[in-house]
Amino acid sequence: MMSLRAARRALSPGVRRFSDTSGGEIVEDVSERTGCAQLTTQASLYVHWPYCLRRCSYCNFNKYISRDNNDHMMTECLQKETETLLQLSQVSCVTSVFFGGGTPSLAHPSTVAAVLETVSGQASLSEKAEVTLEVNPTPVGMSKLEDFCRAGVNRFSIGVQSLQDDDLKILGRDHSSRQALQTIEEARRLCPGRVSVDVMFGRPKQSVESWENELSKLLRVCDDHMSLYQLTLERGTQLFKQVQGGEVTVPAEDVTAEMYQCARRTLHQHGFLQYEVSNFAKHQKAVSHHNMSYWKGRQYIGVGPGAHGRFVLPGEGGVAREARTQTLEPDVWMREVQQRGHGTRRRIQLNHLELLEEVLVMGMRMTEGINHKHWELFSPQLSLREVFGRSTDVQELLQSGRLILDDRGLRCSWDGLALLDSMLPALLVELERQISQRLQRDHHTDGQTKKTSNPR
């Protein structure tokens, strides 16, 4: 049974056709025009589907190889938790929805429709709002794409990972490169201009040259968005053990650095703009708006086992943003949702400094960095220049040309972006110092009367 909302969407394809000339409208970029108020009245929604058919050798994500089929119960629980958390958050507008996992393309399209329907019942979800689904490019995944579209999905993120079949085997993927190419084609047919291709580099035995070849092949078939992730060896994964044990070798750091820079150049030459450390889009419309809202420090609600959220809970009388983590294990999570409407395992109130730290760390990942207005939204009392302008550490970074602080704001240079994690500790140290000094000053001067209204 198709949900009402999905049915409505299905019946009015004109509205959903983002490739139409009216496409400009769909870029619902709240950006800097968003005032302080919107920070708490809007949120994006992440929905976690925890199941996979098999374990990828590099993945340490929260996923489970399900033995019995409890998709139905999972769907009900996802709906229930969505409802509860939206109520608690009291957001009036959900700006985007992202179905991630796990392997969400294993879920039934009706699950997507059901969750979207629940969202619509609690808050406004614009017809134009971005609804992304992560897809494993298997024949089964591909065959369901159309139904997913009918259910309300309007953007696909396809986990191609590699076009080398040998590599796909080492990575433990359950698809072939041919199937990947077919899935891209089908996805582009359904959502032209709104398909992302996810690729991995730094894979075992990979060379800069083979990576370049693979990239040019991908550029011929891809749509307007690419995500390039360096393979990260995570503790506890099979690949990690294999590398530790010497069975598998991964390229040296210098080589992966070269791969990264080479990919950035190549994509640039092909008209892709890098807008984040690992993300590239042909034009502003093609960026992942859902992910952008993370990097811009906006509210998000995480639903499903192990999902994370960052939002204020006025429904519980809260004023500060909370970091929330849902229970990891699907069965336990489901039980909790059934018992109390949500499976939140951990709640941590973020203080002003912690909020700013996240805004900084996330914001600096974007090539545009953090502009003055964006920062002011979260830190009306201390400007970017006030925080970072005085530090000698930061001065050194500025002088080295890796960091830029100018009339636009604070951002990494082309070279600097690749070294962001080496710069962040210095920035965080300075942020903490300035905020604590500011707090002391406030305390000394007008501690009794002034009550600063901290943005959330």
Partner 1 sequence: MFFTVTDAVDLSKFPADRIRNFCIIAHIDHGKSTLADRLLEMTGAIAKTEKNKQVLDKLQVERERGITVKAQTASLFYNHEGQQYLLNLIDTPGHVDFSYEVSRSISACQGVLLIVDANQGIQAQTVANFYLAFEAQLAIIPVINKIDLKNADPERVESQIEKVFDIPREECIRISAKLGTNVENVLQAVVDRIPPPEASIDDPFKALVFDSNFDHYRGVVANIAVFGGRVKKGDRIVSAYLGKTYEVNELGLLRPDEHSTGKLFAGQVGYIVAGMKDVKEAQIGDTLYLQEQPVEALPGFKPAKAMVFAGMYPMDQSEYQGLRSAIEKLTLNDSSVTVQRDSSLALGAGWRLGFLGLLHMEVFNQRLEQEYNASVIVTAPTVPYKAVLSSAKLIKEHGSKEITIVNPAQFPDRTVVSEYLEPMVLGTILAPDSYTGKIMSLCLNRRAVQKNMLYIDDQRVMMKYLFPLNEVVVDFYDLLKSLSSGYASFDYENAGYQAADLIKMDILLNGRPVEELITIVHRDRAYSSGKAMCERLKDSIPRQMFEIAVQAAIGSKVIARETIKAYKKNVLAKCYGGDITRKMKLLKKQAEGKKKMRLIGSVEVPKDAFINVLKRKQK
Nearer to partner 1, 286 or 431 (CB): 431
Nearer to partner 1, 89 or 291 (CB): 291
For 51, list phi and psi in degrees, rounded to 5: -95, 145
128 class by beta-carbon count within 10 Å (0-12 exposed, 13-18 middle, 19+ buried): middle
Beta carbon of residue 441, minimum distance to partner 1 (angstroms, whole number): 21
Nearer to partner 1, 7 or 257 (CB): 257
For 421, list phi and psi in degrees, rounded to 5: -70, -15
What whole-number distance in Å separates Cα of residue 239 and Cα of residue 242?
A: 5
Cβ proximity of 134 and 95 under 8 Å: no
Nearer to partner 1, 108 or 264 (CB): 264
> 3-class DSSP state for residue 168?
helix
Beta carbon of residue 429, minimum distance to partner 1 (angstroms, whole number): 5
User: Hey, what amino acid is at 236?
Assistant: G
Give the rounded distance of the alpha carbon of 445 from its chain centre. 41
What whole-number distance in Å separates Cα of residue 315 and Cα of residue 318?
A: 7
User: Hey, what amino acid is at 297?
Assistant: G
Q: Which two tokens stand for residue 394?
A: 């930061």
Residues in the chain: 456
What whole-number distance in Å separates Cα of residue 389 and Cα of residue 451?
A: 26
Beta carbon of residue 260, minimum distance to partner 1 (angstroms, whole number): 5
Nearer to partner 1, 304 or 409 (CB): 304
Nearer to partner 1, 10 or 419 (CB): 419
24 class by beta-carbon count within 10 Å (0-12 exposed, 13-18 middle, 19+ buried): exposed
Q: Residue 366 has what DSSP assignment?
A: B
Q: Which two tokens stand for residue 409?
A: 């704001």
Nearer to partner 1, 2 or 233 (CB): 233
Beta carbon of residue 348, minimum distance to partner 1 (angstroms, whole number): 9
Contacts of 386 (CB under 8 A, 6+ apart): 434
Q: Residue 289 has what DSSP assignment?
A: H
Beta carbon of residue 433, minimum distance to partner 1 (angstroms, whole number): 9
Beta carbon of residue 431, minimum distance to partner 1 (angstroms, whole number): 9
Nearer to partner 1, 109 or 306 (CB): 306
Beta carbon of residue 328, minimum distance to partner 1 (angstroms, whole number): 11
Beta carbon of residue 407, minimum distance to partner 1 (angstroms, whole number): 25
What whole-number distance in Å separates Cα of residue 44 and Cα of residue 95?
A: 5
Q: Which two tokens stand for residue 123?
A: 């808050």
Beta carbon of residue 127, minimum distance to partner 1 (angstroms, whole number): 24
Nearer to partner 1, 307 or 337 (CB): 307
Nearest Cα to Cα of residue 306 among 280, 337, 343, 279: 343
> 3-class DSSP state for residue 146?
helix
Question: What does the binding site for partner 1 look like in residue numbers (CB under 8 A)?
Answer: 46, 48, 229-232, 253-254, 256-258, 260-261, 277-278, 291, 294, 300, 302, 306-310, 323, 325, 354, 357-358, 361-362, 365, 396, 400, 402, 417-426, 428-429, 432
Beta carbon of residue 173, minimum distance to partner 1 (angstroms, whole number): 17
> 3-class DSSP state for residue 80?
helix
Nearer to partner 1, 176 or 266 (CB): 266
Nearer to partner 1, 4 or 348 (CB): 348
What whole-number distance in Å separates Cα of residue 160 and Cα of residue 168?
A: 9
Beta carbon of residue 371, minimum distance to partner 1 (angstroms, whole number): 20
Would strands 51-52 and 344-349 be described as parallel, antiparallel, or unpaired?
A: unpaired
What whole-number distance in Å separates Cα of residue 432 and Cα of residue 393?
A: 14
What whole-number distance in Å separates Cα of residue 363 and Cα of residue 297?
A: 7
